[in-house]
Amino acid sequence: MSNTHAARRKALKALLASGQPLILPGAYDALSAQLAERAGFQATYLGSFAAAASGFGMPDVGLLTLNDMVDQTRRIVEATSVPVLADAENGFYDAPNIWRTIQAFEASGVCGVHIEDNLGGKHTSRPAGLLPPQQMAQKIRAAVDARTDPDFLVIARSDAAWVNHDADECLDRLESYIAAGADMVFAPALPAEALAGARERLAAPVMVAGDLLDVPGSDDPAHTITEYGQAGADVILLWYTLIGAATKNVTAVLDALRTHNDIAAVKESVTNQRDFEGLMGYDRFEQRSARYTAAPASS
């Protein structure tokens, strides 16, 4: 195991123990993860929603494979120095084979993954379902057994508050997943007041989705980052914000170019090329180039 990987995992655990909610912007590729780090965020995340869109131009409807997610995660880990969490969907395998998922993500350098009980249909009108809680608990137990680094986080996600609109069922499921060994639980669409009322019974860090409510037509009550923090959320995940921002702003620039047929029309919306080259480390390449192309000193 890489010492760097181990150090990042310990750093994430220290952040979780700080008593302050950790705001986790969801990257969609290596560059967006670097920008999140440069902006001062202490950790980042890759979800399948962003990975499917940015890597393949496809919807997040179960099309990505284990290798697709691991490869994109590894690129983000290698491009940054902050802890990274990742989406492992439903674990990709049943309990006896989930070791392969944990092994692959551990090797990528990620600090942990979340595994969900959702059976599909997210982000669509297709009826969704949930894995029976006992079967999901066995997946969590198997994932914990499979890890080789005790600091690698196994995060259990329940979508009961999203799929069934049932906060009580969600909390009951999360309790059973904690009992199975989950280090953290993740509850998308769980209302802040439900979390506040149950925080003491959930004896593990809790992650919530802070920008799930960007979805038009959602009937869920909106909550701010502050409200979720006050309710006891340890991690507030902004899984959509960055890819949503990129899409909106790139579209605006393209529309302006088509309308005005002049690069000057978008100058203020585009990062200066020299500044961008500075972000990418072209100066470091020049330093290396000078070192290895200079004439060797005479003896």
For 187-206, write each residue's pLDDT tens digit: 999 999 999 999 999 999 99
Q: Find the mean pLDDT for residues 106-125.
A: 91
Tokens for 284, please give them: 């470091």
The model's confidence at residue 219, banded by pLDDT at 50, 70 and 90, is low
- What are the tens digits of pLDDT across the range 139-177? 999 999 999 999 999 999 999 998 999 999 999 999 999
Q: How far apart are CA 285 and CA 293, in angstroms?
A: 12
Residue range 233-281, pLDDT digits in tens: 999 999 999 999 999 999 999 999 999 999 999 999 999 999 999 999 9
Count Cβ atoms below 10 Å from residue 226 Cβ, excluding itself.
Answer: 11
Say which residue the tokens 């006992």 belong to.
Answer: 134
Could you tell me the two tokens for 78?
A: 């290698």
User: What pLDDT score does 221 carry?
Assistant: 54
Residue 94 tokens, joined: 């049943």
Beta bridge partners of residue 156, listed in sequence order: 115, 185
Distance (Å, rounded) from C-alpha 263 to C-alpha 271?
13
pTM: 0.92
Helix axes 66-79, 30-38, angle to 10 degrees: 40
Query: So what's the pLDDT on residue 1?
Result: 64
Which one is predicted more confidently, 192 or 125?
192
> Does the pLDDT value for residue 128 go beyond 60?
yes
Sign of CA dihedral 254, 256, 27, 286: positive
Bridge-based pairing of strands 184-186 and 206-209 is: parallel
d(CA 67, CA 85): 16
Cβ count near 66 (within 10 Å): 16
105's CB contacts (< 8 A; 6+ apart) are: 70, 73, 86, 88, 113, 152
- In the predicted structure, residue 214 carries a pLDDT above the cut 50: no
pLDDT tier, 121 (very low <50, low <70, confident <90, very high otherwise): confident
- Closest-CA residue to 202 (of 183, 175, 229): 175
Confidence of residue 16 (pLDDT cuts 50, 70, 90): very high
Higher local confidence (pLDDT), 222 or 122: 122
Residue 213 has pLDDT above 50, yes or no: no
In the beta sheet, which residues pair with residue 235?
A: 22, 207
